[in-house]
Amino acid sequence: MPFLLEGARQLKTIEVGVAYGKDPHAVVEDAIDQLTEDPNLGLVFFSPKHIEEIESAVGSLPEGCKVIGCSTAGELTPDGYTYGTVIVALISSPYLAVETHRITFEREDPKHAREIGRNLVLGAMEKLRNPGPCLDINFNAMLTSLSEGRPIRALPYFIIELVEGLVPAIDYYMDGINEVVQKYKFLEVYGGAAGDDLRLERTYVLEGRTLCPEGSAVVAFGSTALKIGGALECGFEPVYEDRFPVTKAVPEERRIVEFDGEPAADYYADVVGKPVEELDDSVFMWNPLGWEIFGREIIVREPAFVEDDGSMIFHSRSPAAGALIRLEPTEENMRETARRVTERAMRRADIRDPEEIALVLVFDCAHRDCDAQYDAIREVVGDDVPIVGFKTYGEHGQLESGPVGHFNQTIEVVDR
């Protein structure tokens, strides 16, 4: 998903320094050198190859810079997708106040995970005692919109959230975050699950200058008068004739036991035309399933692996009942989706001219195998706007219909 941040490059209300490469210390120094003022917020995305160096590298950032980051399954840089690198984005603005917060999972059950998500956001909200001039500016902007009969677009708060991609019960953790968002309704959530180059061994998140203990989540909670907007979508073509009626499932285990009364793997293999023994990532990522919600949005449920009993484990929570449909990813529909969500993020931020954009932040699924998405985003925002992001183990954000969740094989774009 793209995340766009209004840069008002012409208004000088924000500075952004972006650098990437294979020397973490040089990358951080390069990003700092691009700024004339100390940064408020730093975002650091790094290949797990750089675990040993990342703490000392970010240690050179100015003291007042709040930092979050995570390991990746690939990085998105101003020049396109890369692997094995570190990318740093530093933001400096008097119209941005940020605090960070970390929390660690202590056990695997869904109730605890929901509490973790809720407490992560509430803890960050509690820390942000001084929002600066942002609230007054946003309040005046809302009054102006009301007086002119225009929609109110300004939201005074935002969240950038990162969680280790292999922690249990991420879906329920996101339910906890969703509870806070639905209660207060004044913030939007952008983020994703950390990766480890598809090794599936250990992922990492970072807060401040320190890598967090295993099983952690971090958040940057901010108040801003800058324009900000995001959108996410999978964009795959639904194949409605290929239906998968769920007749037995264990959602808390992300497990579907039966489709239409048959072992799930047998039914899936028959529909996609592959033997059960050949079902693996190379099949799953090009034949994901879709769950149609609220009659209009489709969210992806991609199989992860087949169990010995013929049940299937998914990368995110399965429905308890109902029917899934097969989805058809193509390079064309992934490229078109990247263009569409970037344009939608601009509309949500009320950004009409790409010259106003200071930064595009992208959370892109590790199983969306389409580098042309970068080209599509570039076509919308132009050649001069820095684009940063990473390949995730799950994308986190808000659907058009409202709920915040943990999604697979989507792209999320945030514009500032």
Residue 65 binned pLDDT confidence (cut-offs 50, 70, 90): very high
Q: Which residues pair with 250 in a beta bridge?
A: 255
What confidence category does residue 7 fall into, taking pLDDT thresholds of 50, 70 and 90?
Answer: very low
Task: Assess whether pLDDT exceeds 70 at residue 269.
Answer: yes
Residue 6 has pLDDT above 90, yes or no: no
Q: What's the average model confidence in pLDDT over 335-346?
A: 95
Which residue(s) pair with 312 in the sheet? 256, 306
Is the pLDDT higher at 124 or at 401? 124
Q: What is the DSSP letter of 393?
A: S
pLDDT confidence of residue 8: 38
Residue found by looking up tokens 């990342």 in the block: 54
Average pLDDT over residues 279-301: 90
Q: Does residue 335 register a pLDDT over 60?
A: yes
Q: Is the pLDDT of residue 116 over 70?
A: yes
Q: What is the pLDDT of residues 298-330, one digit of tens each?
A: 999 999 999 999 999 999 998 999 999 999 999
In the beta sheet, which residues pair with residue 80?
77
pLDDT band at 9 (very low <50, low <70, confident <90, very high): very low
- Given a cut of 80, whether residue 128 has pLDDT beyond it is yes
Q: What is the DSSP string of 261-328?
A: TEEHHHHHHHHHT--GGG-SHHHHTTS-EEEEETTTEEEEE-EEEE-TTS-EEESSPPPSSEEEEEEE
Structure confidence by residue, pLDDT tens digits, 168-227: 899 999 999 999 998 887 788 999 999 999 999 999 999 999 999 999 999 999 888 788
Pairwise CA distance, residues 308 & 132, whole Å: 57
Specify the DSSP element, H or E, that contains 224: strand 216-224
DSSP secondary-structure letter at 148?
T
Average pLDDT (106-121) is 92
Which residue has better confidence, 152 or 53? 53
Q: Residues 6 or more apart from 43 whose CB is under 8 A from it?
A: 67, 68, 69, 88, 89, 90, 91, 160, 220, 361, 388
pLDDT at 152 over 70: no
Q: Give which of 266, 207, 292, 254 is closest to 394, Cα–Cα.
A: 254
Its pTM stands at 0.91
Average pLDDT over residues 372-377: 95
Residue 198 in tokens: 């598809």
Q: Residue 264's pLDDT is what?
A: 98
pLDDT higher than threshold 50 for residue 3: no
Q: List Cβ neighbours of 12 (8 Å cut-off, separation of 6 or more).
A: none
Q: Tell me the H-state helices in 91-214.
A: 110-127, 134-147, 170-184
Rounded CA separation 290/277 (Å) = 23
> Residue 261: is its pLDDT beyond 50?
yes
Stretch 117-140: mean pLDDT, rounded? Answer: 76
Among 25-39, 120-134, 402-416, which range has the highest average pLDDT?
25-39
CA–CA separation, 329 vs 344, rounded Å? 21
Across the chain, mean pLDDT equals 90
Please give the pLDDT value at position 227.
Answer: 84
